[in-house]
Structure 1
Amino acid sequence: MSYSTTANEPTSPTIHDIFEPTSGTWQYIIVDPTTLKSVIIDPVLNFDPATQAITTHSADSLLSFIKEKNYKIDKILETHAHADHLSAAAYLQTHLQDQNHKPPICIGKRIEQVQTLFARRYGVPKNEYRQVFDRLFEDDEVFTIGNITAKAIHLPGHTPDHLGYMIGDNLFCGDSLFHADIGTARCDFPGGDAKDLFQSGRKLLSLPGHVKIWTGHDYPPEGRDQPVPWMSVQEHRKLNKHLKDGISEEQFVALRRERDAGLAAPKLLHQSLQINIRAGRLPQPTDAGLRLLHVPLKIGTDGW
């Protein structure tokens, strides 16, 4: 993983962007420099699909960094129920709590409809996904990180529960916008909608031009070697291949639907959703001591 830091004015947050290369995920630690109170956005558990092994290298690296900096983690924020990596939220919460504070795991209020859908699909028991998130944000709900004010902003399209977090002049948009040479996220998951994503994109690009939009993933294409965590609103308006100025909703929807029709399912789709509707918690062990996830079979012939 790579770490970099953006330090703004004294009253603005300090931002650490941490790239997890296997899943192409940006994780963030956002800090109030006056109090050292902080939040973590979209942390990653490591998962090897070949061995079905879950490990905590990335999360442990975050914990070491937080301890080194003496940060006080106030909240763990999820932008949505990810379908391409497993969340480390519950693991981090366990290792960051003390006798005075247990950092709440926070997500948007619509997570409950996502949980219900995928719990039914994968046979997840109700007691393993009901009320596992500690705080469900309302649309435009304001909260604090130390002395810094933040806001949870509903950004549907990629998923119906999707949130962005406005912290100072920074918008952490999750999987809404990607780097300008990639454009936007897919909309073909259940509850996703290209029209909604267009409107969410327009909401983002109506912000002042200097605002930084920090994305949830980057997959650098040929010709761009390094992942990039943010671009300004002004840059997206000029350069974003899907949402730059002049692209209509009709054009965007047609482009997004054509693109989505050719995309393969994420490699960790089934594992991710079953863990992430549990807020990053593992399935309860069976009587034999095994923790199991369900993976649907593709039947290649009739007659079964």
Structure 2
Amino acid sequence: MDVALARPQVSGFYDKPTGAIQYVVADQATKRCAIIDPILDFDERSGATATKSADVLLDFVSEQGLSIEWILDTHPHADHFSAAHYLKQKTGAPTAIGERIVDVQKLWKAIYNWPDFPADGSQWDRLFREGETFRIGTLPVTVLFSPGHTLASITYVIGDAAFVHDTLFVPDSGTARADFPGGSAARLWHSIQDILALPDETRVFVGHDYQVGGREPLWESTVAEQKAGNIHLVAARTEADFVALRETRDRTLPMPRLILHALQVNMNGGRLPDPEANGRRYLKFPLDCL
């Protein structure tokens, strides 16, 4: 299939508690699809987990007569749990993430003091490298390595659609933070330039939206719209200016409220901790580490 003619059907599902968007990306020719960045519900006050958000995706896939070919994560999320493992258990579809997840695992296994944790990416069925290609049905997919927000972030370019995770937001919201362990504003700048080098008509689908000014949630723009109107890229036209803008802003931001909850789950492929002798699962919290 000609990449220029490959236009997947993209359905976004907005999660108001986290501001995150999970996606179903479908090839209408074959009814094959991929799920991108699925959410496992978690309430930190009660410690309760649930699968409501992920089950919405399964219901949608069933209603549309689709079959799931891939369960894809763009990066290890710091503000919600990944439902990748749950969806694999329900569907048998393979899971995948970028190969640099091993760098995140090595970093965070030290933070959590888990010397026996396997930091080899084996928690996923496939680790994608920079420039690797694959297909969803007949849709061509190319993987871009997009570090900066995390060490392991990747972008999936699926036909005319780029899933840029937490690198860019919609234009009125700017760009993602780069102050997590392993983050880098300079790396983020170069990742953004790679995305902006895609054709202007490329649809850009973001990982989060925080409803600037109380507007309705948005998650789609184009490369042309990002070039013309992204508030951070308009204000900072050079790498040095962008790094200064991004680092200044990041110093004002609190850490995501779920970062210490989420990383121990998400660097393990979305698996919750194993039950202990009493049948309950427990999260581990490193104090004074961030």
- Quick one: structure 1 residues 21 and 128, their matched pair in 2 at CA, closer, same or farther if it must change by over 3 Å? farther
Alignment match, 1:239: 229
| Runs (4+) off by over 2 Å | 9-12, 123-130, 296-299
Q: Given that residues 17 and 26 in structure 1 are in contact (C-alpha distance below 8 angstroms), is that contact kept between their aligned partners in structure 2?
A: yes
Q: Which residue of 2 aligns with 1:256?
A: 246
Q: How far did residue 156 of structure 1 move?
A: 0.8
Match of 2:255 in 1: 265
Alignment partner for residue 94 of structure 1, among 89, 95, 100? 89
CA distance in 2, matches of 1:298, 1:164: 32
CA contact (8 A) 1:173 1:213 kept: yes
The residue identity in structure 2 corresponding to 1:204 is: I
SS at match of 1:27: strand
How far is 1:231 from its partner?
0.8
Report matched runs for 1:21-60 at 5 Å: 21-60=16-55
1:160 to 142, 151, 155: 151
179, 186, 202: which one pairs with 2:177?
A: 186
Deviation at 1:14, TM superposition (A): 1.0
Per-residue CA deviation, residues 17-57 of structure 1 (Å, 9 max, x unaligned), is 11111111111111111111110000001111110111111
Once the two structures are TM-superposed, the CA of residue 106 in structure 1 deviates from its matched residue by: 0.4
TM-score (norm 1): 0.90
Question: Is the CA contact (8 Å cut-off) linking 2:42 and 2:50 kept in structure 1?
Answer: yes
In structure 2, the partner of 1:80 is: 75
DSSP-derived class of the 1:174 partner: coil
The whole-number CA distance in structure 2 between the counterparts of 1:276 and 1:124 is: 15
| 2:39 counterpart letter in structure 1 | V
Q: Contact 2:77–2:262 (CA<8 Å) still a contact in 1? A: yes
Aligned residues of 1:79 and 1:174 also touching (Cα < 8 A): yes
- The range that moved more, 289-298 or 150-159, is 289-298
Q: 2:205 aligns with which of 214, 224, 244?
A: 214
**Contact kept? 1:201, 1:243, Cα under 8 Å:** no
Name the % identity.
41
Q: Is the 8 A contact 1:128 1:283 kept in 2?
A: no
Counterpart CA distance in 1 for 2:81 and 2:173 is 23
Structure 1 298/126 Cα, relative in aligned 2: closer, same or farther at 3 Å? Answer: closer
Unaligned residue ranges in structure 2 (runs of 5+)? none
Within 5 A, what are the aligned runs for 1:92-241?
92-97=87-92, 103-124=93-114, 126=116, 130=120, 131-222=122-213, 224-241=214-231
The residue type equivalent to 1:255 in the other structure is L
Change (3 A) 1:34 1:293: same
The structure having more radius of gyration, on CA atoms, is 1
Q: Which amino acid aligns with 1:118?
A: W
For residues 129 and 93 of structure 1, do their structure 2 counterparts lie closer, same or farther at Cα, with a shift above 3 Å needed? farther
Is there any run of 5+ residues in structure 1 with no aligned partner, and where?
A: 1-8, 98-102, 300-304
TM-score (norm 2): 0.94
Q: Indicate yes or no: 2:276 matched with 1:281.
A: no
SS at match of 2:23: strand
Please tell me the residue identity of whatever aligns with 2:268.
Answer: R
Summarize deviations over 1:138-197 as a string: whole Å, max 9, x none: 101000001111111101110111000001111100000001121110100111111111
AA at the equivalent of 2:13: I
Q: Distance in 2 between matches of 1:246 and 1:291?
A: 46
Q: Deviations over 1:232-275 (max 9, x none)?
A: 11111111111138611111000000001111010100111010
Match of 2:58 in 1: 63
Contact 2:170 2:221 (C-alpha < 8 Å) held by counterparts: yes
Q: Deviations over 1:187-235 (max 9, x none)?
A: 001111111111111111122211111100000111x511111111111
Aligned to 1:302: none
Cα distance in structure 2, aligned partners of 1:233 and 1:59: 29
User: Counterpart in 2 of 1:6?
Assistant: none
Question: Contact conserved, 1:178 with 1:217, CA < 8 A, in 2?
Answer: yes
